[in-house]
Each structure stands twice: as structure tokens, then as C-alpha cells.
Structure 1
């Protein structure tokens, strides 16, 4: 069986849910500008961009270590451009505290290694299933 990773989200109320990721948890919500949002945490699209930015940051750090490049600092921004009900584009901008001649080398290595961006680029197969729990409607 292939390696798998599962996270669990449990709805609280309104637009709020709590996501369990290994030993960690995070509250997800919508901003107050969305009817019913209470701004108790990042929204799901911010989480997606956060996954892109954090994974690419760690991939750059890994690439630098692999190439024996000492980083003075590392800052990665991920910006999504909405296109209807999805991001039509995601742009990553990395500020890498390293020699100029290593920037493209580290980015190329990180692009090969980053699981999140590789998943987005590759268009992972997505399937959805569901089950009902609780009382069934009376059919009489």
C-alpha cells in the first residue's frame, strides 16, 4: 500500500471547523466580511497558500543544505489569483539570503522536491465519498 497522509476536519458551527494534523490542530474560519464568518482562523484558501509557501520554504532550506549553501534568511510569499471558485494562478516569490549565483540553482532544486507544488502542478486525482450518520428520515 502506498504511503498516505490523512488530516481530519470537524465542523464546529457556521464557517468554523477544527482541523487535526498529526499532533497539531488549527481552527479554520472565514473572515467577518463573509456572512457567518467569525475570523477565528485562516480561511481554507489561505491554508492552501500557506501550504504552498511553507512547503516551498522548507524545500529551499533543504536544497541549500544539500548544496552546502548557508542561508542568511529566507522569506517566501505565495499569492493566489482568484478565477471564479478556484485560483487560476499561484505565484511564489522567494527572498533567499544566499549568493546571487545560487538563487536559480536552489529554486530549481526546491521545485523538484516540494510536495505541495508538485501536487498542484501534477493535478492529483481527487475523489469524494460520503456516508450518513445519525437518524434517518422517516420514510413512512
Structure 2
């Protein structure tokens, strides 16, 4: 078994509505509570980072699956939405909606389009981050094939 370790250093010198910093190698940024949660909205926040982790994992997994299947695409884009519920002052990360758009070559067959749709669904279930949050955060997929 091979294990990989990822490291992050955080600094939060102030109070609730102040800012801090994180340093995780290539990811270096300020952090604060988002404006939607009555914070200063400076830098990024846990909600954006969870959405970013889920989205980047999904699109990379899907791209790898398309490549392994020898499906030629013109483009692959993704829009994702994170839904946070606030009930009685308790914040719950409720749902992530992935909306990938896969643009195929004009010569793509119906069989290839169906395979792309299956791979888009499989990528969501295969991605490491999706597997990590499954059962806690609902995952929804809205695929567009062009």
C-alpha cells in the first residue's frame, strides 16, 4: 500500500471576522468567513475549497476516463454549485451539483455519446473526493453533451 501525504499550514491570528492564511504547496491564499455567512469575504473559505476539491477531482477523473476510452473530445468544461443550508444557525453543506459540458467531434456517434454519458456518471462515483464526502453531501450531476 502506498500512501501520499499532503500538508497544509494555517495561521489565524485574529478573531472570527478577521483573516488568516493557508499554505499547501501550490495553494497559498488568505482565508476568511464568506460574506454569505456574515464574514469579511477575503480570500477563500472552506465552502469554496470543498467545492473546488470536488470539482477539480471530478473533471480530472472524467478527462482521464475519456482518454482511456479513446474518446476524442473538442472541449470539457465544468460548472459546479455548492449548496449550504442554514437552519437554526447551523450550517450544513447539503449538496454539490456538477454540470459538465463535453463537446465531442461532429463525427461522434450515438454509441460514443452514450459512452460519454456513462463515463460522466462513473467519474462522479470514482473520484476520490466524491467518495470521501458520499453519504454526507448529496452529489447531483447534470451532463450536457454537444
TM-score under structure 2 normalisation? 0.68
**More RCO (CA 8 Å, sep 6+):** 2
Determine the structure 2 residue equivalent to 1:26. Answer: 29
Question: Map of 1:56-75 to 2, 5 A cutoff?
Answer: 56-75=58-77
2:6 aligned residue = 5
Gaps of 5+ in 1: 124-140
DSSP 3-state at the match of 1:30:
coil
Which structure 2 segments of 5+ residues have no match? 137-146
Report the structure, 1 or 2, having the larger strand content. Answer: 2
Counterpart in the other structure of 1:136: none
Deviation at 1:94, TM superposition (A): 0.9
Determine which structure has more spread, i.e. the larger CA radius of gyration. Answer: 1
**RMSD between aligned residues:** 2.5
Change (3 A) 1:102 1:12: farther
- Aligned residue in 1 for 2:78: 76
TM-score by length of 1: 0.71
Q: How far does residue 11 in structure 1 lie from its aligned partner after superposition?
A: 1.4
The answer on 1:111 being equivalent to 2:124 is yes
Q: Deviations over 1:81-117 (max 9, x none)?
A: 2222112222111111234223223213412431111
